[in-house]
Structure 1
Amino acid sequence: MNVWSSLVGQDRVVGQLKAVASGDPKAIAQSWLICGPAGSGRSNVARAFAAALESPDHGLGDGGEESERVSAQVLAGTHPDVTSLATDKITIGIDEVRDLIEKSEQTPSISPWRIIIIEDVDRMQERTTNVLLKEIEEPSPHTIWLLCAPSAQDVLPTIRSRTRVVELAVPDQQAVARFLETTTGVEPKVAARASRLSEGHIGVARLYAKDERAMSDRDELVVGVLGLARASDAVLLAGNLIDGAKAQAELDVERKVRSEQERFRRINGLGSDERIPTALRSAYNQIGKKADIKRRATRRSRDVLDRALNTISSVYRDVAVLQNNAEDSVGLVNLENRAAITDLSVRLTRQGAVDRLEAVNTARRRLTGNGNQLLLFEALFCALLV
C-alpha cells in the first residue's frame, strides 16, 4: 500500500515528507505543524506521514505483508502507537490534551515511534495550548507530534516557533475532479462541476458530487444572493439559510450517532435488535448523550454556515474577475449564473465588490463567536444589497 497515493495535489509536500520518512531517524524533527486551507487534506497528510514513519517500507507499498498491515492500521486509525485527536466540539478541551500528553510519554509498543496527531490545533484556547507547549518543546525521545491548522498564523507563536512547518497547496480543479471520479465513481461532468464549485476543498467537492441536496442548497443560495433587492429579501434569505443549516446539522449528527451505535454493536458481537448487556450499557449510552449531540450539532451547523459564506464569497469573487477582465486566466466559479453575475458586475463598482467580500470576511469572524447567527446573516445580506 502506497500511503501517499490518496493525497490530492500535494506533490511537493509528498516529496519532502517521503525523504524525511526514509532518512536518518536521528535527524527527524519531533514536532510538526501541517498547514493548509480547509479541504486541502491536512489530516490525510498527517496520517500518511505517520504511516510512512511507522511502516518498514516507509509507506511506499513495496515492503510486503508486514508493511501493508502497518500502513493499513495507521490509515484506519487502529494502530496502537498512533493516536489521533479530532473534535466535533467547538474547542479542544484541556483534559483531552492532558490525556494525549500522558500517552505521548509512553514507550511505543510495536513501532519505532509513538505518534500523536491533533487535527485542529487552532481550536485550542490559549490555556490549553500552554499545557501542550512543554511537550512540543521537549518531546519524549520516541514521540512525534503532528499538529494540523489552517495556517501557521492560527497557532500561538510559542507553538509555531517550536515546530517544523509544512505548507500545503490548494489542489487544482483537474486533480480534484480526477480524485472524485476515482473514489466516488461519479461521471466526469459531475466531478468537474463539483470540483469547480468547491474551489479546491476536497471534502466539499466530495459532498457536492455525492449529495444532490447539498448541491441544490448551494444553487439556491447563489440565486438568493444575486436576487437581493430589498431588506425583506435579506431577512427571508437569512432565515431560510439558518433553518436549513440547523436541519442539515441535526441530520448529519443523527446519521453519525447511528453509525457509531452500529459500529459499537458490531465490535461487541451484538445484533441490530439485540438488547445491550448491562456491562456495556453505560458505554453505549455515551454515544448518544444529549449534551454531546447538541455540541456536535452546533459545531456541524457552524461548518454548514461557513460553507455558505464560501459560496457567498464566490459570487463577489466572480464579480471582481469580470470587472478586471480576468475570466480567461482564472475562470468563474459560478458559471451557471454567469448572466446574473455579469449584470451585477456592471451595477457594482470595483470598490463595491471589495466591500462585499470584506463584509463576508467580517461575518466569518463573527461566526466563531457566540452571537445570534440569524442577526449575523441578516446584517450580512443587508450589507450586500445594491
Structure 2
Amino acid sequence: MGTALVGAALGQDVFTELVGQDEAAETLRRAVAAAAALLADGGPAPAGGGGSPADGEIVADTGTAADDGPPAATGAMTHAWIFTGPPGSGRSVAARAFAAALQCHHGFGCGQCPGCHTTRAGTHADVRFVVPDGLSIGVGEMRALVLRAASTPSAGRWQVLVIEDADRLTEAAGNALLKAIEEPPPRTVFLLCTPSTHPDDISVTIRSRCRLVSLRQPPAEAVARVLTQRDGVPEKTATWAAAAAQGHVGRARRLAQDSDARKRRDAVLAVPRQLTGVGACFDAASALIAAAEAEAEAAVADIDAAERAALQTALGAGGTGRGAAGAARGSAGQLKELERRQKSRATRAQRDALDRALVDLAGFYRDVLVSALRAPVAPVHTDVAALAEAAAQKWSAEATLRRLEAVLTCREAIDNNVKPRIAVEAMMLTLWRG
C-alpha cells in the first residue's frame, strides 16, 4: 500500500492541518469526494451564469464515494466558495488545503502526491494564489487572473483561483470577479478568504453566488497541541503561547519560536504601566508606532531589495552598449511603479504589525476585566496575571471596559484609514484617563 493510501487509512489528509475545525474539514472532504466523482464520470457539464445548480453551479449527485475518500453528498461541490472566520482561524490554510485536495492524484487530498505537494508549495500550474502586497487588489490584476483561470486545466483536473484577502478587492476588481463567478468555466473553482461576509468586506452579490465555510477561533488547547506535536515546542511554552496568541496559530508559533516577537509583546504589555501623564501617553504612542514601523521594515526589506535588483537587471542596469542610456531613461516609469507597490506593501505591513500589538493590549485589558468580575475563564496573558490582578483592584470594571473599548475603537479607526498616529494617540489618552 502506498504512502498516500496509508495516510488515508490512518485518517490523515491535507485537512488535518486545520486546527479545531472538524466541521469545516468534513464539509470540504465531502466536496472533494464529489469533485473526484464528477471527474470520474467525465467532468462537469459546461456551466452557465447565476447562482443555482441549474444555472451553472458545479454539483455532484452521484451518491457514490470517491476512492479513499468520504461519500460524495448531493450538492457537495460548487464552483465558488467563501472561507470566513476570525484572524488566525485558518482561512487561507483551509483554502490551500482544499485547492490541494482538488488537485490530488488520489482524489481525497493525500498530501503526498505531486498534485498535493505542488499546490501546497505554490507551484502547481493550475492553481493561482492572490496574496496582495498592498492595501487592495486592483481590477487589472483581477482581470488577468480571471482570464488565466478560464483556461483548460493542464493536468486534466481543475483550475483553481485562491484569493486570500478578498476583502481587499476594489469595487472594479470585485465586479470583474463577479462576472467570472456568474459565468464560470466548467472546470474552474474560485476560493475566497475574508474576515466576514459583511457587505463592507465582500459584496452581497458575490456572497450570494458562493458557498460559505465558516471557521471558528481554535481553542487554545488545540493550538498548543499542534505546537507540541508538529513543531516540537515544549509543552509549557506551547500552552503559554497558545493562550497569548488568542487562538491564532501563526502568531502562537512566532511567540513560541521567535525571541524578537516575545520582546515586542513584552514592550506592548508594559504600556499600561507607562501611562502616567499626557506626555507619557504621546511618548508611548510614538514608541508603539515606531516599533510597528521597524518590524514592518525588517519584514519587507529583503523582498524590496530583491525586486528592485531583479527589475534593474531586466532593464539592463549597468549596460554600456548602444542604447543603454535610452533604456535607462525609459525605465524610470517602471521603477516608479515598483516603488509605489513597495510603499503600499510597507503600509500594509506596518498596519498588520500595529494591529498585532493592539490585540495583545486588548488581551491585557480583557484579563483585568475578567479579574475584576471574578469570571471563571482563563487569562490570555498568563505571565502578567499578577499585573492584571493589581490593575483590577485599582480600576473599576466600568473604567476597564472603557479602556478595552478604546483599544478596539483604535483598531477599527485604523482599519477605516484613520492615520495610525492620530488613532493611537487618542487611544493612549483614553487608557490613561479611564
**Band the TM-score falls in, shorter-chain normalisation:** 0.7 to 0.9
Where structure 2 has 5 or more consecutive residues not aligned to the other structure, the ranges are 5-12, 39-58, 61-76, 311-317, 322-327
CA distance in 1, matches of 2:227, 2:152: 40
The AA in structure 1 aligned to 2:27 is: Q
The alignment's TM-score, normalised by the length of structure 1, stands at: 0.87
Q: Does 1:132 align with 2:177?
A: yes
2:232 to 178, 185, 192: 185
- Report if the CA contact (8 A) 1:121-1:147 is conserved: yes
- Report if the CA contact (8 A) 1:73-1:79 is conserved: yes
CA distance in 1, matches of 2:191, 2:110: 22
Offset of 1:235 from its aligned partner? 0.8
The alignment's TM-score, normalised by the length of structure 2, stands at: 0.78
Q: Does 1:379 align with 2:422?
A: no
The AA in structure 2 aligned to 1:173 is: A
Match of 1:323 in 2: 372
Change (3 A) 1:178 1:371: same
Match of 2:21 in 1: 10
- The one of the two structures with greater contact order (alpha-carbon pairs below 8 A, sep at least 6) is 1
1:208 to 235, 249, 255: 255
User: Secondary structure, in 3 states, of the residue corresponding to 1:106?
Assistant: coil
Q: Does 1:234 align with 2:281?
A: yes
Match of 2:291 in 1: 244
1:335 to 373, 382, 403: 382
Q: Does 1:75 align with 2:124?
A: no
Q: Does 1:310 align with 2:355?
A: no
2:137 to 92, 104, 114: 92
1:31 to 42, 64, 80: 80
CA distance in 1, matches of 2:409, 2:82: 27
Q: Does 1:357 align with 2:357?
A: no
The AA in structure 2 aligned to 1:114 is: Q
Q: Does 1:345 align with 2:396?
A: no
CA distance in 1, matches of 2:306, 2:258: 18
Where structure 1 has 5 or more consecutive residues not aligned to the other structure, the ranges are 265-274
The AA in structure 2 aligned to 1:308 is: A
- Report if the CA contact (8 A) 2:109-2:116 is conserved: no
- Report if the CA contact (8 A) 1:118-1:147 is conserved: yes
- Report if the CA contact (8 A) 1:226-1:340 is conserved: no
- Report if the CA contact (8 A) 2:286-2:421 is conserved: yes
Q: Does 1:120 align with 2:169?
A: no
The AA in structure 2 aligned to 1:293 is: Q
User: Which stretch shifts more, 341-350 or 234-243?
Assistant: 341-350
- Report if the CA contact (8 A) 1:319-1:341 is conserved: yes
Offset of 1:11 from its aligned partner? 1.5
The AA in structure 1 aligned to 2:248 is: H
Q: How many residues align?
A: 368
Match of 1:301 in 2: 350
- Report if the CA contact (8 A) 1:319-1:342 is conserved: yes
Offset of 1:375 from its aligned partner? 2.2
User: Which stretch shifts more, 228-237 or 186-195?
Assistant: 186-195
CA distance in 2, matches of 1:216, 1:316: 19
Match of 1:267 in 2: none
Change (3 A) 1:307 1:159: same
Match of 1:368 in 2: 415
- Report if the CA contact (8 A) 2:102-2:109 is conserved: no
Match of 2:219 in 1: 172
- Alignment RMSD, CA only? 2.8
The AA in structure 2 aligned to 1:193 is: W
Once the two structures are superposed, what CA deviation does each residue of 1:198-245 show, in whole Å capped at 9, x if it has no partner? Answer: 101111112212221111111121121244231122111111111111
The AA in structure 2 aligned to 1:164 is: R
The AA in structure 2 aligned to 1:379 is: A
Offset of 1:254 from its aligned partner? 1.3
Offset of 1:260 from its aligned partner? 7.2
User: Secondary structure, in 3 states, of the residue corresponding to 1:145?
Assistant: strand
CA distance in 1, matches of 2:243, 2:272: 19
Match of 1:272 in 2: none
Match of 2:242 in 1: 195
User: Secondary structure, in 3 states, of the residue corresponding to 2:87?
Assistant: coil
Once the two structures are superposed, what CA deviation does each residue of 1:126-153 show, in whole Å capped at 9, x if it has no partner? Answer: 2321221121222111111000001112
Larger of the two Rg values belongs to structure: 2
